[in-house]
Amino acid sequence: MRPLGTGREVAPGVSVIALLARSHHLDVYDAWCAPRACRVVVKTPRPDKLREPAARSDLLREGRLLRRLAHPHIVRAYGVHDLPRPVIVLETLGGETLGHLLRRRRRRLGAAEIAFLGTHVASALVYLHAEGMLHLDVKPSNIVADGGRAKLIDLSIARPPGRMRGGRGTWCNMAPEQARGGVIGPAADVFGLGTVLYEAATGANPFDDYDPDEDPSLKYRAARVRRARRLPVALEAVIDGCLEPAAADRPRLDEALATFAGVVGPC
């Protein structure tokens, strides 16, 4: 199914410039917003998914959540539209995803840069948790480095804490309890943060052996950071701690933030 063409109006005053990305259910477009006289990003179901109720409801739920959030390290939503098609209008972010940045760079991030990244992402998660929601998909491709500021994007599977079915998330970034299913709390996002910081420090995800039958975090504990990279002891300890298999053994986000501040200072 072809994407929407250039110039197609997808919401009042919002017209398509070009397709940026396509997933199983959604298209993401670069677009022009005439009322704001600026470029924006638009998320909308693929043309062949428009009649799927789940695609519509999930997108609108994400848009309404983003509209009520206001944090410097979470992408902003400008508008949510239901007709003629469900659409979220988002701010355009400069820079690149953390995943792209880590693949592009020849040198790994320094300790201060890792702590700086951790401060921004943990700050966003503290706020999101205070708003009664879990992100549940914290990974390098869902973090954008925008003008020296890390911004968390894609809240498409965000949910309140509670009992959830297993396997909803990205296989190599999910906490064991998230992969297994059951009662999920803020510690699941702490685990996701740990996978991000581990990859930022070492250049590799701690769970990179895909197994269609069992998520890797259910099979083994992540290797210690020190096996691949020497960092300040406190920073190593917080990254390793975030990846503890048992949710109760992981540090709280305020504890992690204190460690990051000790490495790089308040951000």
Which residues belong to the active site? 137
* DSSP-derived secondary structure letter, 159: B
Q: What stretch of H or E contains 242?
A: helix 233-242
The residue among 91, 85, 78, 61 whose CA lies nearest residue 9 is: 85
32: left (phi over 0), alpha (psi -120 to 50) or beta: beta
- Amino acid symbol at 135: H
d(CA 30, CA 45): 15
Residue with tokens 């109006």: 9
* DSSP-derived secondary structure letter, 114: H
